[in-house]
Structure 1
């Protein structure tokens, strides 16, 4: 039996998150697939990579050593698969805006790749709230934006969804709710709730609360994701946020766990937006083409392979 890249990715996810179940959620696969991959790795290597307990998994000494090697392998593979598709013929500039969430948790990596792909295109970057982005797209102050598409209101704005990020319940490690097999909004209605407000997250949250005629017990409204993370990690409340902004540790080094809810919780959709009828420049076409290749084409390939 030979080692696979998939096994390495599953192992790294479990090592970073400390729970096989959380790794499965992040990877969007079954928990059994992660468990099998790790067991196959351990069998191949002839060592135990994790110490298992009811609270999760922790790396053994051999596991910590193997994790460093796994990082190096995956980094090399990523570099090999992401050789810049340099296009020096595309020239021009684009005024690109983004909301807080897109700029903080998505764009930096892609900006670096865009610079490699299109060395003769310059990007003027701006951060605005959704309402400002709509106004500036309409008056021509900016050319294109990366936004949470479900929040758009103006009918003259065209959007193209790139991907959706599931929203899940955030709870502290060992929270009483972690013992429940299933969870619904009714189970957390009385819990102290930390409400994020940036990028109109509070408005998005109230859509699914209102659908069930429920009211969250909000003890804090904040525009800081790190504040939410720390409050939840320290057991001061719970939150419902997207996987895009999830990190397993707070700044104090306390663990945060996530759980899916049985209720219909709308995912956070991220995409491109521009003014209807806008004449696309070379720079705009290049940026749109890049994001389509980064998100939409892989999704289409997955769907095609599933059908076949």
Structure 2
């Protein structure tokens, strides 16, 4: 295993298709495919489910993705040690929703503080409605939110990450043995409904496209409560990969399963008041996230590996 294997694997995981990864890396599709096969043989584990929709990470793949990103980021950090840090300074007020603050922002806040020590970030956790009001009233410069929940025409958005939603089941559940579940079958199971960040409203929107309804056993705003309930066999749920972890706080395992109907992704990104004049701190934040996501982060390793 080498950095090339990790780079190609991360590219495929983040784009969801070998062809997109190859285009981003300016290499052939066969090079990406061969590298992933070599990596799977080396690890003795299947990292992707291959389907007509593209490449979907297995549970092993999700765990390995986190480790791969950490390795590549450490390499990049080591290469930056002798570089001059940004002299940009200033204050920026950022609003964020619960899910974004808990499962997306912490790593990037730490990285921003290392790259731009003169930048002061004032962070506020709010719900979507309060964030929209705050952006329009200029109480906040920018927001990091679930852009899939926003539809205010006065607010500009830029999506950075699309996180697939899948069915969560306890380890060894009959759905995981089959490899796919229909909404008809899911409707017969007890369902644990997450409510935070409009998750329940979003869920009912895609459930409404079927002829079935979830048999809700519990409604909760706690992702960890949902995780524990599922892992302990108390029900199933549909949530995004961004908040997925294959074990509960008690150490019990859970798995993810694809569904017969494609579920809309949970999209994460930036938001700001339309026609805003970007300050230097706003430009810095916007450019940081664009480099990290819209220009695939793995391309920074191309010249060195």
TM-score (structure 2 length as normaliser)? 0.77
Alignment of 1:126-137 (within 5 A): 126-137=124-135
The Cα offsets for residues 147-173 of structure 1, whole Å up to 9 and x where unpaired, read as 001111322111000010000000001
The Cα offsets for residues 249-276 of structure 1, whole Å up to 9 and x where unpaired, read as 0011100100111202001000000001
Judging changes above 3 Å, is the alpha-carbon distance between structure 1 residues 35 and 228 closer, same or farther for their aligned structure 2 residues?
farther
Whether the aligned pair in 2 keeps the contact of 1:26 and 1:243 (CA below 8 Å) is: no
Match 1:218 to one of 182, 195, 216: 216
Q: Indicate the residue corresponding to 2:49 in structure 1.
A: none
Q: Indicate the residue corresponding to 1:281 in structure 2.
A: 279
Q: C-alpha displacement at 1:118, in angstroms?
A: 1.5
Judging changes above 3 Å, is the alpha-carbon distance between structure 1 residues 227 and 6 closer, same or farther for their aligned structure 2 residues?
farther
Q: Indicate the residue corresponding to 1:190 in structure 2.
A: 188
TM-score (structure 1 length as normaliser)? 0.76
Q: Indicate the residue corresponding to 1:242 in structure 2.
A: 240
- How many equivalent residue pairs? 266
Confirm whether residue 39 of structure 1 aligns to residue 41 of structure 2.
Answer: yes
The Cα offsets for residues 116-175 of structure 1, whole Å up to 9 and x where unpaired, read as 222211100110001110010011111100000111132211100001000000000111
Question: Segments of 4+ in structure 1 off by > 6 A?
Answer: 8-11, 24-27, 29-35, 299-302
What SS does the aligned partner of 2:158 have? Answer: strand
Q: C-alpha displacement at 1:213, in angstroms?
A: 3.1
Q: C-alpha displacement at 1:107, in angstroms?
A: 0.6
Q: Output the CA distance in 2 between the equivalents of 1:86 and 1:237.
A: 52
Match 2:75 to one of 52, 70, 80: 80
Q: Which moves more between the two structures, 85-94 or 162-171?
A: 85-94
Judging changes above 3 Å, is the alpha-carbon distance between structure 1 residues 89 and 39 closer, same or farther for their aligned structure 2 residues?
closer
Q: Output the CA distance in 2 between the equivalents of 1:155 and 1:26.
A: 29
Q: Indicate the residue corresponding to 2:94 in structure 1.
A: 96
Structure 2 gap segments, 5+ residues each: 19-32, 46-57, 301-305
Structure 1 gap segments, 5+ residues each: 14-23, 43-48, 50-55, 59-66, 303-308
What SS does the aligned partner of 2:224 have? Answer: helix
RMSD, matched Cα: 3.4
Confirm whether residue 139 of structure 1 aligns to residue 137 of structure 2.
Answer: yes
